[in-house]
């Protein structure tokens, strides 16, 4: 198996809602396990997500979990997920869904370097960048 880099997102009680949202955005196969499935029956934690993995049809992977009590949670403080390529329709569709209900910091539009680029933070607090490459002649 080749080495892969997989973003692992942390949430505080809404990992299931978030990863199901990302599955609607990106498609693919989703697997989830709760803390309760691994023996933690603590009220309020048993139904939360211990590990979720989304394998998308485009070949990338997102992982997620809820942060258990006692562990630090600092969403979006050090990482932004970047999507880029030349499939403008696909990337615009991702942008529209990710930015809906979130905060757009840079609208998706043509930039000085020639590509379309935008930045947003989705409704779950995850920052995203989308870059649509300008077709080369």
Looking at 43, 66, 89, which one is the last position of a domain?
66
Model pLDDT for residues 79-109, shown as the tens digit of each residue: 889 999 999 999 999 999 999 999 999 999 9
Total domains, the chain: 2
Beta-ladder partners of 131: 84, 117
Instruction: Tell me the pairing of strands 116-121 and 127-132.
Output: antiparallel
Structural domain boundaries, residue 107: 81-132
Model pLDDT for residues 76-87, shown as the tens digit of each residue: 566 889 999 999
CB of 7 closer than 8 Å to CB of 81: yes
Contacts of 106 (CB under 8 A, 6+ apart): 117, 118, 119, 120
User: How many whole angstroms separate alpha carbon 45 and alpha carbon 36?
Assistant: 7
């Amino acid at each position: 198996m080749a080495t892969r880099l997989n973003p692992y997102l942390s949430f505080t009680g809404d990992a299931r809602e978030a990863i199901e949202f990302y599955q609607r955005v990106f498609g693919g196969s989703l697997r989830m396990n709760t803390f309760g499935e691994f023996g933690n029956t603590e009220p309020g934690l048993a139904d939360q997500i211990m590990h979720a993995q989304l394998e998308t049809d485009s070949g990338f992977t997102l992982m997620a979990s809820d942060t258990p009590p006692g562990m630090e949670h600092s969403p979006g403080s050090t990482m932004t997920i970047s999507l880029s390529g030349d499939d403008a329709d696909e990337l615009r569709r991702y942008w529209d869904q990710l930015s809906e209900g979130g905060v757009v910091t840079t609208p998706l539009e043509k930039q000085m370097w020639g590509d379309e680029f935008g930045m947003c933070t989705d409704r779950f607090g995850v920052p995203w960048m989308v870059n649509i490459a300008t077709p080369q002649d």
